[in-house]
């Protein structure tokens, strides 16, 4: 349980959460925001596994992608709600 919470929290205040949110705020298309966040999640996990997909844990990868997707979607919603352009 603690392992799961730690991984989720770490991803929220790491690249998938922060960069995912920022990229999501660049578009009004929620799917695009989520996609960009998800890609950040994949890249982050691979970068932290020293560039090797084999070394990246499935669970870590999955959590990073989900957090990236959520952050990207939230970013897009913020753009829709909070910008006139």
Partner 1 sequence: MADSPEKRGWIGRLWNWIWTPAVAFSSGFLILAGFLAGILFWGGFHWTLELTNTEEFCTSCHTMETNLGEYRETIHYNNHSGVRAICSDCHVPHEWNHKIKAKIMAVKDVYHELAGTISTPEKYEEHRLSMATAVWKKMKASDSRECRNCHNFDYMDFTLQEARAASEHQRAIDENMTCIDCHQGIAHSLPPGYQERYQEVTETLASKKQDRLQQQAAADGDDIKSFLSTRAD
Interface with partner 1 includes 5 (CB under 8 A)? yes
Interface with partner 1 (CB under 8 A), residue from 37, 72, 76, 82: 82
- The minimum distance between CB 44 and partner 1, in angstroms, equals 7
11 belongs to the binding site for partner 1 (CB under 8 A): yes
Q: Contact between 7 and partner 1 (CB under 8 A)?
A: yes
Question: Which residues, at least 6 apart from 46, have a Cβ–Cβ distance to it below 8 Å?
Answer: 52, 53, 56
CA distance 34 to 9: 18
Selected range binding partner 1 among 7-15, 24-32, 34-42, 65-73, rule: CB under 8 A: 7-15
Rounded to an integer, what is the distance from CA 8 to the centroid of its chain? 11
Cα distance between residue 81 and residue 41, in whole Å = 24
Task: Name which of residues 40 to 79 contact partner 1 (CB under 8 A).
Answer: 44, 48
Q: Which chain residues interact with partner 1 by CB under 8 A? A: 2-3, 5-7, 9-11, 13-14, 44, 48, 81-82, 84
């Amino acid at each position: 349980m603690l392992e799961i919470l730690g991984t989720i929290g770490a991803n929220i205040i790491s690249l998938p959460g922060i960069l995912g949110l920022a990229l999501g705020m660049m578009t009004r298309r929620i799917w695009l925001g989520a996609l960009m966040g998800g890609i950040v999640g994949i890249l982050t996990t691979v970068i932290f596994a020293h560039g090797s997909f084999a070394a990246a844990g499935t669970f870590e990868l999955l959590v990073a992608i989900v957090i990236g997707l959520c952050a990207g979607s939230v970013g897009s919603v913020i753009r829709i709600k909070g910008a006139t352009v």
